[in-house]
Structure 1
Amino acid sequence: MPPEPRIRVHDDVRAALAAGRPVVALESTIISHGLPRPDNLAVARDIEATVRRRGAIPATVGMVGGALVVGLDDAGLERLAGSDDVVKLSVRDLAVASAAGVDGATTVASTSAVAAAVGIEVFATGGLGGVHRRAAETFDESADLTTLSRTPIVVVCAGVKSILDVGATLERLETLGVGVAGYGTHRFPGFYVTDSGFDLDWRLDSPEQVAAAWRAQRGFGVTGAALVVGNPVPAQAQLDRDLHDRVLADGLEIVERDGVTGKDVTPVLLAHFHEATAGASLATNVRIILANADLAARIAAALADAS
């Protein structure tokens, strides 16, 4: 019989975890599905370099030829960035995709689950998935939310994409017991824009304070859920608010007109944002993920220093 499949952990990541040094998990869907070529590969490398500059080890998660890898090497990044055949993988897809021997990119849900499984405690992403508009009719809700309810990891993000139902997403996170705090703010970030319009109960103002909150959560042992840290894009770097609102409204009309549903909604709307803003949304997206990688690395370092 063939050997049981195992998660392959890159030597640098394994050594850092064993030594208690800071490690930051990174998703791979931004490489394969979130950014256009050739920007996707360059940005993937920049994200990893940002983590390294803060003294942490980047661990980009993905699947190469059916092998689930934590800490893709540069050849792996190139492979996922350069192919049209990379499959988007949530948690439920991992086993079947491995058996099929495919190349796959991990979502927020699957990256969180895999990272936590190997002992990584901090994950940087752009934005979470969430409850879709009209979910009361379609039941369309990202697996990110339920996965985070049972996955112990700190997730640094810029909120959820404004194409989603932000208020309903926050309600679901509360119901699922997932902690949410703003970084330097009591307002939930709106991904492309600084403020989504929704208040938060909690605010954390430094990497050390985030690390202290996470140590308390681990120590109490009363929940196995994630802690979401909403890191807003600076006001001077956000997408113009009027442009954002106009493009979003137009995009929602396109989705309705063309009958786009399910997992196809997000890529269609993001492609519309990129085209309708003449690339401004892409530039904001890149600023977001780099800022989140930087903060995640500082949080990971604060956790390591306190260990």
Structure 2
Amino acid sequence: MGVEVREEVAGALARGGAVVALESTLISHGLPRPDNLALALEAEGIVREEGAVPATVGVIGGVPRVGLGEGDLETLAYEDDIPKLSTRDLPFASAKGSHGATTVAATAFLAARAGVRIFATGGLGGVHRGARDSWDVSADLAELARTPVAVVCAGVKSILDVPATLEALETLGVPVAGFRTTRFPGFYLTNSGCPLDWSLESEEEAARAVRALGDLGTGGMLVANPLPEAEQLDPVLHEKALRSGLEGLREGGVRGKEVTPFLLSRFREETGGESLEVNKRIILNNARLAARIAAALAALEGG
């Protein structure tokens, strides 16, 4: 299965320029219309503002693409029943000629195939609450362990088991550092309550870590980028929405790929749409930092 790389992205990679991968699941499944397309375009615009080339990843007509055109983005934003594709789903989407929105795992995999080393998303998948019984652990973790991509994210979604996710990342040997913090963010929340051993204090230091990662020939790494405290979701409102969402999961028997969309939707309802605005800030904040790290990496390597 070949990967189609958009000409602008291929050109930037060939000359050692800054490129940032962006995922497409948030377009098809993470945000309501028309916010989804507007935010995707805004995130790409921010990446360009910071001197990098955006490479949104998705599958169009069975073809994995690293770098989507505006028409492709519209397809993923507005067509109904777009499949959510993890890495394991890619062969089937290809065989069926299907469109598909790529998760963190599939985006990282395809970005790495094209030579893109930095990827911005909202939150990483992780170990779900109750995973001891359900075995519900995101493929994002295993993919990151073997794929040489630095993922800039706001930690993992607070709907997950954050301590267990950090333990899993440690077991898998995935390096995790906070950006100017030694506290792991909780997506909507600036601080999940979990400590980190390492903090990267500048974009240049993060770029040196990405280069070292490549030199060592290991898998990927995680740069956890918290929202400023003044921009986080109100912690009391967050706790209320989380309790309601988890109760809804149990009552509805929701499992697998449907868990995250269900909980995000419940958060929107319980917070009167405020969680959606926080989600947008997270995505744009991470896109900006990833682009700055990519630009610093390109400068470091003489691109």
Q: TM-score, normalization: structure 2?
A: 0.98
> 2:167 maps to which residue?
171
- Per-residue deviation, 1:49: 0.2
> 2:254 maps to which residue?
260
- Per-residue deviation, 1:264: 1.3
Which stretch shifts more, 260-269 or 156-165?
260-269
* 2:130 is the alignment partner of 1:128: no
The runs of 4+ residues in structure 1 deviating greater than 3 Å are none
CA contact (8 A) 1:7 1:69 kept: yes
- Per-residue deviation, 1:202: 0.2
> 2:283 maps to which residue?
289
> 1:9 maps to which residue?
5
CA contact (8 A) 2:213 2:220 kept: no
> 1:66 maps to which residue?
62
- Per-residue deviation, 1:129: 0.3
> 2:35 maps to which residue?
39
- Per-residue deviation, 1:216: 1.8
> 1:244 maps to which residue?
238
CA contact (8 A) 1:85 1:103 kept: no
Pick one of 97, 104, 108 that aligns with 1:101.
97
Q: Deviations over 1:9-63 (max 9, x none)?
A: 0000000000100000000001000000011000000000000000100000001
Which stretch shifts more, 121-130 or 261-270?
261-270
CA contact (8 A) 2:241 2:270 kept: yes
- How far apart, in 1, do the equivalents of 2:253 and 2:87 lie? 26
- Per-residue deviation, 1:260: 1.2
| Count of residues in correspondence between the two structures | 301
> 2:143 maps to which residue?
147
CA contact (8 A) 1:181 1:201 kept: yes
Structure 2 letter corresponding to 1:148: L
Structure 2 letter corresponding to 1:265: V
CA contact (8 A) 2:3 2:113 kept: no
Pick one of 229, 232, 241 that aligns with 2:226.
232
- How far apart, in 1, do the equivalents of 2:185 and 2:286 lie? 12
- How far apart, in 1, do the equivalents of 2:212 and 2:24 lie? 30
Give the unaligned 5+ runs of structure 1.
none
Secondary structure in structure 2 of the residue aligned to 1:196: strand
Q: Deviations over 1:253-304 (max 9, x none)?
A: 1111111122211111110001111110000000000000000000000110
Give the unaligned 5+ runs of structure 2.
none
Pick one of 276, 294, 304 that aligns with 2:298.
304
- How far apart, in 1, do the equivalents of 2:160 and 2:16 lie? 37
- Per-residue deviation, 1:85: 2.1
Secondary structure in structure 2 of the residue aligned to 1:298: helix
Secondary structure in structure 2 of the residue aligned to 1:197: strand
Structure 2 letter corresponding to 1:296: A
| Identity among equivalent pairs (%) | 60
> 1:197 maps to which residue?
193
Q: TM-score, normalization: structure 1?
A: 0.97
